Amino acid sequence: MKSKYILPLFLVIQIIFLKVLPFFPDFVEGAYSNNLYIRISHFLRTIFGKIPFSVGDLIYGILLLSIISWFWQIRTTWRTDWKDHLLKILGKISVFYFFFHILWAFNYYREPLFQKMDIKRDYTDAELLAFTKKLIVKTNEIQFQITKNDSSKIVFPYSQKEAFKMNLDGYKNLAEEHPYFKYEILSVKKSLFSLPLTYMGFGGYLNPFTNEAQVNDLLPMYNFPATTCHEMAHQMGYASESECNFIGVLASIKNKNLYYQYSGYSFALRYCLGIWQVKNEKIFNQLKKTVHVGILKNYQESHDFWKQYETPIETGFEIFYDNFLKTNNQKDGMDSYSKFVDLMVNYYKTRKL
């Protein structure tokens, strides 16, 4: 067999393998997520964690320029040598695909968190309503503790660099109750591509090749702790967006700092209110009246921030990412972000907020 066919064939083998892998979540959980991946992630965070800028973003930038350069070089031979060029592209995709999965993405196929934590997936409207009301009381309480005025929005007093380090306190406290949420070796960076991320509608992402958690540094700061904790959850090997929202909220509200608790509670409350807005407008309006004006001002701050960056680019990227998630064993796609409410409602059935 000619060598140029080896990598494209390997891509086909990988795709077939990933079609089978969802049937073996226990194997992925034991052999990869709780074994090989932990070693890989610790190694990468040790290497890149102390570097003050995002190495992963820099690599992506260089890679993008090299791809553009390569296409420019072959522009005159594309029609005559299209077969060789196509095989080269498939070969490069094959290598990328392999490292993407071995370094992080096999986590898409691990045991679901609701099974790991023995949490039910379903809830009734009555249970959601009771949880939302408790969440409103708690969020109102913390907002007032900080501002002493129910009409004042929260203004985050820490720098982004300070915030990254302060996240560790919440994860430390969370790990005392759930040891599998232990976070070690900080590697969280401000993304060099924060503006493009904003236009695409994202608050951050995990670079699977360097294990750096990238955070959009343009975000409203009251959101910063929960968003950063979400990306740190990805670093620990949790691929599901709903699970990372859940872990991110828990790590925020377990933090001793009130601003962090507010970030977590207000994040969860916003999703709950959003569900009621779709489900029952009357109940939504009744609930909204009980939320402090200061909290609503923070929500408006977020709304205004994202509104100014709305373009067809965001819509197009959301469609792409929705299909990407569905391809990678997250059948709910972009809707999976809001599915963490299922976990929250059932987790707090037996716990105090």
**Model confidence over 55-67: pLDDT tens digits?**
999 999 999 999 8
* pLDDT beyond 80 at 3: no
Residue type, 261: Q
What does the alpha-carbon distance between residue 78 and residue 8 come to, in Å, rounded to a whole number?
A: 18
Average pLDDT over residues 106-126: 92
Q: Name the pLDDT band for 325 (thresholds 50, 70, 90).
A: low
* pLDDT beyond 80 at 315: no
Average pLDDT, the chain: 91
Give 258 or 77, the one with higher predicted confidence: 258
Give 333 or 290, the one with higher predicted confidence: 290
Average pLDDT over residues 78-107: 91
* pLDDT beyond 90 at 81: no
pLDDT at residue 328, as a whole number? 66
Q: Name the pLDDT band for 83 (thresholds 50, 70, 90).
A: confident
pTM for the complete prediction? 0.91
Average pLDDT over residues 250-262: 97
Q: Name the pLDDT band for 317 (thresholds 50, 70, 90).
A: low
Nearest of 94, 66, 70 to residue 5 by alpha carbon: 94
pLDDT at residue 80, as a whole number? 80
Beta bridge partners of 189: 214
Give 330 or 48, the one with higher predicted confidence: 48
Q: Name the pLDDT band for 326 (thresholds 50, 70, 90).
A: low
What does the alpha-carbon distance between residue 14 and residue 38 come to, in Å, rounded to a whole number?
A: 22
What 3-state DSSP class applies to 190?
Answer: strand
Q: Name the pLDDT band for 303 (thresholds 50, 70, 90).
A: very high
* Burial tier of 88 (Cβ tally within 10 Å: 0-12, 13-18, 19+): middle
Query: How many CB atoms neighbour CB 311 within 10 A?
Result: 11
Judge whether 166 and 148 are in contact, CB under 8 Å: no
pLDDT at residue 324, as a whole number? 56
pLDDT at residue 334, as a whole number? 45
Average pLDDT over residues 229-233: 97
* pLDDT beyond 80 at 244: yes
Beta bridge partners of 207: 212
* pLDDT beyond 70 at 98: yes
pLDDT at residue 333, as a whole number? 47
Least confident window among 5-9, 206-210, 296-300: 5-9
Average pLDDT over residues 137-161: 97
Average pLDDT over residues 86-102: 94
pLDDT at residue 350, as a whole number? 86
| 94: Cα within 13 Å, side-chain hemisphere | 18
The DSSP bridge pattern shows strands 212-215 and 188-190 to be parallel
pLDDT at residue 5, as a whole number? 85
Proportion of the chain above pLDDT 90, given as a percent:
76
